[in-house]
Amino acid sequence: MTVTAIPDLAESGDVVETDAGLRQAGSRCPECRAMASPPVPRCVECAAPTRRVPLADRGTLYAFTTVRVSSSAQTPYTIGYVDLDDGVRVLTGVADPETATVDCRVIVEVAADGSRLARPLTGEDADQ
């Protein structure tokens, strides 16, 4: 499976390698359980030191749009916000935008350079 880099998103990538593959890095507060992405050294809610954790790879597409004019990247490409299952909202590329809908379930694929691509889930995969 190929993950296509989306302009301006790769540089924000912070990746954690897990047994299930690459995941985007975030942070979790051990005191109040607040999550953050990108990872932060101190909790934004209570200022306690945080732990670096892999973020969920599934979520719900909150909003998306297709960019058709750009002076710096090949168009068209589609980007969107995904509300990950662990409560963090991330900006990501969107694959198969013709099948994507607001509130559809997606899996977010992460490449080694940190670029992200949300792929709409269908059928039984969408129920997980």
Inter-CA distances, 117 with 9, 29, 47, 125, Å: 10, 26, 31, 17
Assigned token pair, 78: 């589609």
Among positions 35-64, residues that touch Zn ion (CB under 5 A) are 43, 45-46, 48
Q: How far is the CB of 91 from Zn ion (least distance, A)?
A: 23
Q: How far is the CB of 120 from Zn ion (least distance, A)?
A: 33
Among positions 67-126, residues that touch Zn ion (CB under 5 A) are none
Q: How many Å apart are CA 94 and CA 4, to the nearest integer?
A: 10
Side chain identity at residue 125, one-letter code: D
Shorter beta-carbon distance to Zn ion: residue 89 or 102: 89
Site membership for Zn ion, residue 17 (CB under 5 A): no
Q: How many Å apart are CA 88 and CA 57, to the nearest integer?
A: 11
Q: How far is the CB of 33 from Zn ion (least distance, A)?
A: 7
Binding-site ranges for Zn ion (CB under 5 A): 29, 31-32, 34, 43, 45-46, 48
